[in-house]
Amino acid sequence: MKKKFLAIVLSAGVVISLFTGCAQKQEKTANENTNVTESANKKIYTRPEGVNSDDAKKLLIEGNKRFVSGNVLGEDISKDNLKKLSTGQKPFAVVISCSDSRVDPETVFDQGLGDLFVVRDAGNVVDKVTLGSIEYGAEHLNAPLIVVLGHENCGAVKATVDKSKVSDNIQGIIDKIDISLKTVEAKNTSKDKIYQEVEDANIKNTISEIEKDPTIEELVKENKVKVVGAKYHIETGEIVFE
């Protein structure tokens, strides 16, 4: 009787084991299929060739909409694309942005390798070095659009408005932004709006400096380049162009 009971128990154990193993195998297969499906359905971003300044701005606006919605496209990092990029670059826009870690241009505009020529520093200000980089992107790489990308809650702007004590190097950044601060203060802007107003004025001042650059000024006159401003909203991820 005991032997018969033991045989029944062992048989049941074998059956349960078989069913469990089968279920695990089916679950694993289903997951593998899901991964393959997701990989197969992943949309790779490709942009049109030969865009003008208006086309370039539209591409950036559309890319930011994808970023805000969370429906970003996959970046082409295939060996074929890397090989293609190794022969040269042709970015469709030069972006001057703040170094703030929350405002990565390629990410917030949903663009890939070779699409943007990015120049970054704290406060999105310009000097001879950054202007030289901008000139290179516009004149030598033929990017038709230059975007000055500012953002909300800029630490460099806050330091300027608050007249914070900083190092000599950071003071160089503040001196640039201070031009905008003086403009805003002259309008008797309320304290609750002064940071925002200085951020906006700083974007416009940077645009003005870029447009006064002899090389860029000539390209603008020839309608080969357009300089525009935009502002990134930290909480929503939305970028609003001027």
- Asked if 119 contacts 95 with a C-beta cutoff of 8 angstroms, the reply is yes
Strands 226-232 and 239-241, bridge-based pairing: antiparallel
Which comes out higher in pLDDT, residue 141 or 8?
Answer: 141
Whether the predicted pLDDT of 177 surpasses 70: yes
Residue 46 domain-assigned (yes or no): no
Evaluate whether residue 47 is within a structural domain. no
**% residues pLDDT > 70 (the chain):** 81
**Residue 12 confidence class, pLDDT cut points 50, 70, 90:** very low
Average pLDDT value for residue range 205-216: 98
Residue 7 lies in a domain: yes
CATH of the domain at 236: 3.40.1050.10
Band (pLDDT 50/70/90 cuts) for residue 49 is confident
Least confident of 14-28, 112-126, 153-167: 14-28
pLDDT of 28 > 60? The answer is no
Tell me the three state secondary structure of residue 121. coil
CA dist 97 and 153 (Å) reads: 14
Do residues 27 and 67 share a domain? no
- Range(s) of the domain holding residue 36: 1-41
Could you tell me if residue 3 is left (phi over 0), alpha (psi between -120 and 50 degrees) or otherwise beta? Answer: alpha
